[in-house]
Structure 1
Amino acid sequence: MKRFIFAIGALAVLSYVQTATSYKLEALPNAYTLVGEGPHWDIKTQSLYFVDIDLAKLLRYDYKTNKTYSAVLQGEKFASFIIPIKGKKDKFVVGCDRRVVIVKWDGISPIAKVVYTAHEVEFGNEYHMNRFNDAKADKKGRLVAGTMWNDQSDLFTYRKGSLYSFQKKKKAKSIVPYAGISNGMTWNDKTKKFYFVDSANYNVTEFNYNYKTGTLNGDPRVVWQHETHMPDGMTIDADGNLYIATFSGSTIYKVNPKTKKTLMEIKFPTKQITSAAFGGPNLDILYVTTSALNNEPPPAGTTYQVTGLGAKGLPMTRVRI
């Protein structure tokens, strides 16, 4: 059974009830994006950082003040992800085209600037349409970031992307080659498992993860597959369940990767759900980005917070670089 509730006022609220679990969706203020992606909850600042990829925009939602700030990344075409750097105030790693750049931003100003390029991958004309798409840091602060072929008229023919592991002061290492659309990634530190979405495969795969080397071991195991709903970004809760955003399905699926069973479907009033991250003071709020690509009507592009899920996430890690 589902129950819909709409609140009157500036903030629209939509809640669903499925079995014994209730949850509520709320739109974050001034957090519209054309292609929202890469949500990262920073415990230190109690802020949600995320990007609007195609507009090269950085965004920060401040939990304490309930305000969203945004900045255009000067001189860039894309901003694929944003992650704070450990020990560096107002410094972030950001994906721009095929570069990992260091950006200085105070989290408030409307303009952010690239300080320097830390890494670059995929040289040569054969990769001219590639760009970074998603990234996260493992528990040691190692950056893991993936690329994709960025021809919107033909996203699925070419498998020229790759998932990279970046070591400090070392050359990037490809850990998943020939990726179609590198997307969601997360870790279960207790079981030493790494989960990865290649959207072109319409599935989520599980790898054994070597934290010493940042490499993957053994053959991947498919833990979730969907015939029609393309997976996008992803996160994990403290119990090891995955939350898989679907770009074509208006849904985040809560999945137990051990049993491959879907435990819950979190429904949204818009189609293109791009990613999710747990945040808030108790890590029990699921922040969700969406997209308004392909002329999707409102509320497409809304960034949501989901409460009442009865689950908690894990702390996200700042990058060491």
Structure 2
Amino acid sequence: MRIEVLVDVKTTLGEGPLWDVEQQRLYWIDSFDGRVFRSTVEGSEVRAWDVPAKIGSMALRKDGQGAVLSLATGFHLLDFRSGDVDLIVDPEPGKEKNRINDGKVDKRGRFVAGSMDTMEEGPNGALYRLDPDFSVHTLDTDIICSNGPCWSPDGSIFYFADSWSGEIWSYDYDLATGAVSNRRTFAKLDTSTGGAADGSTVDAEGCLWNAQVYDGKIVRYRPDGTVERIIEMPVKKVTSCMFGGPNLDILFITSMAKPPLPRFPGDGVLRGSLFAIYDLGIKGVPEPRFGA
């Protein structure tokens, strides 16, 4: 195993690595600076798009023309050709202290994303599902900081974390309807060193990988919730992970250059870098696109 810096763009709050198997390109975002990035697997040909608000996550659309975004002001569409960003719907009108955060697409093309309290203090957020017809459905409530949505390889189990609960949860997921049920604790984190569950992905073997922000660790959990391995990263503020590359065997890791609140630790010169981990001997699964 080797860890390398793939792109050093010093993202204030890097998040959401997304490998697109169709284009063979890697996307990621800067949540605080409001930008979407794209590069090759080698970290070259870097391109960026500005968006008009803080961004929590993105998913590529099936029509190939752009992406669906979760912005602080609701769900939007980004046109890659023009750079235009258009509002779909704001599921939380009037909640000025909230913003939509982490999200991913299920096997039927629905975008599931949760909101968060920007001060990360109160259970003011919720988990939403944006369907291809642009209708919005509430899946869960009373969440402080939504993070880590992903599914088991067959799509029947949905994983999700409220970062400050100290747990990663699993739900039964109905692929036919997009409904969740039977929430239970999948794994408990060791929070004694200040870490919290951030972005997650699932590999082809059904194991969940979680970036444990402020603790500098990437943890692989077996399907039964036990820890299979821990990877120590060169920075503390790792934020999310996803497999990509031509063989889906490179693990991409985002990080933040500046903590969102003063109580969180700083990092050295590698802060805000996009990392790649090679030679793990494990493959991921292709990320679905949004749409019917």
TM-score by shorter chain over 0.5: yes
Runs of 4+ that moved beyond 6 A: none
- In structure 2, relative to structure 1, the CA distance for the partners of 1:64 and 1:249 (3 Å cut) is closer
Give the structure 1 partner of residue 216 of structure 2: 250
Q: How does 1:191-210 map to 2 (within 5 A)?
A: 192-210=156-174
Alpha-carbon distance, 1:178 to partner: 0.8
SS of 1:269's equivalent?
coil
Give the structure 2 partner of residue 276 of structure 1: 241
1:286 corresponds to 2:254: no
* Residue type at the aligned position of 2:123: R
In structure 2, C-alpha distance between the alignment counterparts of 1:311 and 1:236, rounded to whole Å: 11
Identity among equivalent pairs (%): 28
Of 84, 89, 109, 1:113 maps to 84
In structure 1, C-alpha distance between the alignment counterparts of 2:79 and 2:200, rounded to whole Å: 27
1:47 corresponds to 2:25: yes
For residues 279-301 of structure 1, the C-alpha deviation after alignment (integer angstroms, 9 at most, x for no partner) is 00000000000011235332110
* Residue type at the aligned position of 1:239: E
Alpha-carbon distance, 1:191 to partner: 6.7
* Residue type at the aligned position of 2:226: K
1:137 corresponds to 2:76: no
Give the structure 1 partner of residue 279 of structure 2: 308
Give the structure 1 partner of residue 76 of structure 2: 101
Q: Which moved more, 1:34-43 or 1:163-172?
A: 163-172
Let me know the Cα RMSD of the aligned residues: 1.7
1:147 corresponds to 2:115: yes
* Residue type at the aligned position of 2:90: E
Give the structure 1 partner of residue 291 of structure 2: 320
What runs of 5+ residues in structure 2 fail to find an aligned partner? Answer: 260-265
What runs of 5+ residues in structure 1 fail to find an aligned partner? Answer: 1-22
For residues 208-236 of structure 1, the C-alpha deviation after alignment (integer angstroms, 9 at most, x for no partner) is 10011111122323323322321100001
* Residue type at the aligned position of 1:86: K
For residues 37-63 of structure 1, the C-alpha deviation after alignment (integer angstroms, 9 at most, x for no partner) is 111110111111111000001100212
In structure 2, C-alpha distance between the alignment counterparts of 1:69 and 1:191, rounded to whole Å: 32
Bigger CA radius of gyration: 1
For residues 63-84 of structure 1, the C-alpha deviation after alignment (integer angstroms, 9 at most, x for no partner) is 26733222222xx131221211
Alpha-carbon distance, 1:96 to partner: 1.6
Give the structure 1 partner of residue 262 of structure 2: none
Of 47, 55, 61, 1:69 maps to 47
Q: 8 Å contact 1:29–1:67 — kept in the other structure? A: no
1:175 corresponds to 2:139: yes
1:123 corresponds to 2:101: no
- In structure 2, relative to structure 1, the CA distance for the partners of 1:59 and 1:65 (3 Å cut) is closer
In structure 2, C-alpha distance between the alignment counterparts of 1:303 and 1:142, rounded to whole Å: 27
Higher relative contact order (CA 8 A, sep 6+): 2
1:261 corresponds to 2:237: no
